[in-house]
């Protein structure tokens, strides 16, 4: 059965259930719509739906794109229609297309009885995050601070828990299920931790003097055997390999986040500050004095001519598809407003965001977003034309995380700002 046929079957089934509910048991009643109706707030590829709940009522959300007159009578016939069952407020509707208007309404029922009247239809248009920022909590992690986000199965409740991890000076670590409430974790090492990543179903952190630690749940940590005395500054993983880069050209790799190996073929002794794995199947590392290295396997590296002498701090790429042709845009950012672009990670060209700020971090999800000194935030859809965004801070933004369809940036005092 095709995906289209499966979707059509499910929509018909839900409609049948709604109609059948009209003949619910004799003790059921038809609940009134939530008082005040629905409130929807647009986010990046999502909207958050809120309402005033009534105890004992089971709520269903109905949605569809490009139909401002969406109702229960025409919902099924609307292309792209969808539903969410047994939801609680607030509820995040994910998987939406940015720039497309969506309409929403809700019904409720009690005791598996008939569905009540629908709320008035409300609309929202998801849009890219990064243009509006707000402050969150401050972490006592010192400078610098690494961030990551991952999940684990809690053995006591047998439920999946999603967790943020922050690391910093003196081995400090904090965990949180939201950005406002952080819990200190007992340090495993006293070394400064410079970066964190989630891979191989593990939380991983790297730092000074070659320190590497890992945990499956952010609570119990193990230190990997040290294989280098060099400071490790950045870390990433692609599902089959994790790579950390550091001072004096240090590159270490692992296939399980437990046992690490030194990459022996590295043609530089420059300090390395950033590492990324791209959809082109290429690893790219960047560092001091305009250093750019590329590798197909993470073990053997080739130096590329960046055309820049600036210290390069972060790298990323976005894949695009036009007329069945796949293309890539690689972006590197660094000191004094440096932005470099490349279609292949080999030939690089300078771009400008009209700033001399030192860029420290880069995200390349559905757009490029770079952060840096003085609270600088710039965004670009193509890596060529950049727009400055108001971050509401003048602090030096040192690290950046993309998680839960939002951006989270940390300054050099552990302060957090976010955009969603």
Q: Are 173 and 166 in contact (CB under 8 A)?
A: yes
pLDDT tens profile 34-57? 888 999 999 999 999 999 999 999
Average pLDDT, the chain: 91
Strand partners, 123: 103
* Phi, psi dihedrals of residue 290, rounded to the nearest 5°: 80, 20
Q: What residues have CB less than 8 Å from 132, skipping those under 6 apart? A: 390, 419
| pLDDT number for residue 22 | 38
CA dihedral (10, 14, 20, 24) in degrees, to 10, reads: 130
pLDDT tens profile 216-237? 999 999 999 999 999 999 999 9
Q: Is 289 helix (H, G, I), strand (E, B) or coil?
A: helix
| pLDDT number for residue 14 | 53
Handedness of CA 363, 198, 169, 253 (dihedral sign): negative
3-state helix, strand, coil in the chain (%, to 5): 10, 45, 45
pLDDT tens profile 199-217? 999 999 999 999 999 999 9
pLDDT tens profile 280-290? 899 999 999 99
CA distance 343 to 382: 11
| pLDDT number for residue 6 | 41
Determine what percent of the chain is predicted with pLDDT higher than 90. Answer: 79
Checking DSSP bridges between strand 39-42 and strand 47-50, what pairing results, if any?
Answer: antiparallel
Single pTM value for the model: 0.85
pLDDT tens profile 350-379? 999 999 999 999 999 889 999 999 999 999
Pick the closest to residue 262 from 291, 228, 296, 237 (CA basis): 228
| pLDDT number for residue 114 | 75
Q: Is 210 helix (H, G, I), strand (E, B) or coil?
A: helix
CA distance 91 to 63: 13
pLDDT tens profile 395-410? 999 999 999 999 999 9
Domains of the chain: 3-124 (2.60.40.10), 134-419 (2.130.10.10)
């Amino acid at each position: 059965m095709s995906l289209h046929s499966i979707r059509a079957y499910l929509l018909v089934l839900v409609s049948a259930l709604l109609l059948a509910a009209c003949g619910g048991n004799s003790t059921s009643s038809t609940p009134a719509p939530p008082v005040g109706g629905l409130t929807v707030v647009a986010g990046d590829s999502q909207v958050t739906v809120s309402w005033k709940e009534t105890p004992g009522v089971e709520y269903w959300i109905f949605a569809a794109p490009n139909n401002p007159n969406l109702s229960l009578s025409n919902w099924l016939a609307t292309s792209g229609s969808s539903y969410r069952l047994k939801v609680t407020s607030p509820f995040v509707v994910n998987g939406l297309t940015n720039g497309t208007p969506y309409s929403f309404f809700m019904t409720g029922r009690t005791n598996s009885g008939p569905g009540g009247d629908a709320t008035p239809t409300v609309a929202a248009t998801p849009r890219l995050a990064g243009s509006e920022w707000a402050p969150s909590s401050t972490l006592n992690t010192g400078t610098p601070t690494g961030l990551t986000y991952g999940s684990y199965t809690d053995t006591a409740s047998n439920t999946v828990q999603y967790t943020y991890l922050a690391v910093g000076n003196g081995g400090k670590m904090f965990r949180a299920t939201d950005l406002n409430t952080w819990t200190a974790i007992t340090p495993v090492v006293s070394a400064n931790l410079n970066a964190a990543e989630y891979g191989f179903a593990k939380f991983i952190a790297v730092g000074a003097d070659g320190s590497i630690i890992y945990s499956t749940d952010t609570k119990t940590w193990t230190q990997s055997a040290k294989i280098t005395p060099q400071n490790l500054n950045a870390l990433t993983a692609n599902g089959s390999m994790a790579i950390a880069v550091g001072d004096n050209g240090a590159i270490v790799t692992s296939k399980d986040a437990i046992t690490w190996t030194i990459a022996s073929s590295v043609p530089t002794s420059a300090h390395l500050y950033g590492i990324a794995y791209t959809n082109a199947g290429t690893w790219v590392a960047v560092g001091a004095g305009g250093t750019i290295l590329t590798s197909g396997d993470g073990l053997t590296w080739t130096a590329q001519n960046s055309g820049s002498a600036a210290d390069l701090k972060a790298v990323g790429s976005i894949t695009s598809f036009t007329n069945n042709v796949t293309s890539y845009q690689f972006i590197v950012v660094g000191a004094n407003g440096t932005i470099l672009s490349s279609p292949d990670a080999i030939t690089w060209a300078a771009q400008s965001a009209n700033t001399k700020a030192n860029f420290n971090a880069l995200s390349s999800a559905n757009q490029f977003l770079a952060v840096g000194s003085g609270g600088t935030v710039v965004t670009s859809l193509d890596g060529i034309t950049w727009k400055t965004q108001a971050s509401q801070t003048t602090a030096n933004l040192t690290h950046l995380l993309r998680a839960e369809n939002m951006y989270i940036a940390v300054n050099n005092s552990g302060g957090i700002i976010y955009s969603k």
